[in-house]
Structure 1
């Protein structure tokens, strides 16, 4: 039977190439090499594992997205409007609360600016020049 490369076989069956490579690695499908060094799978092997390829000429999607969008219905319209009105009211309440919180933050920042500055440190420590200075400072701290 005909041998096709893994990519072409995947297109024919509507699978992803990685699915076929995984099947070959796990031993479910036997693959060989053609004269160009490409991995090929015999069509009879694919028939054994996956059955007949889809009859359409276009490759089938592996996981097609179903159309779950609800159709507009006259009976759902009042519920939708009520829900929308409720959401608008919640949005207004949140906006009012946000304005209150923003004004509180402004007020707290003003109070922070009015606080007195912290006092400067008494006397800065002299810079350390070598390890002896570090050791001396450590000993002075442990004696206190």
Structure 2
């Protein structure tokens, strides 16, 4: 059966938590610990000691009521037929639109995804990084 914390079990049986803690302390009700370290009581143990769960009269189950303005089944069937007819006409329209040629678009400049990027000109070295790299490369070549 299900294990509930002492607080939840007390609410379920309309008891005070302290009464339930006292029953556990005196050994009338056995309790264990759950994975979170909270004291829990098995439902079967509560049924053994206190009997079945009492009916909660504070929150009665609402009776199912049908709204007074519920349409009858013939009106619903008529609405369903009208919706199906509308869906059929929309499908026909989509079918006709798919037969049309695609709209023309203004030509955009074509870009080649595999185009190589041109290296900048030799004189385009504002920070002197290329010249420094070349000097280091030349010095390494001379040492060999």
- TM class, shorter-length: 0.3 to 0.5
* RCO comparison, higher one (Cα < 8 Å, 6+): 1
TM-score, with normalisation over the residues of structure 1?
0.39
Mark the structure with the bigger radius of gyration. Answer: 2
TM-score, with normalisation over the residues of structure 2?
0.39
Task: Give 1 or 2: higher helix fraction.
Answer: 1
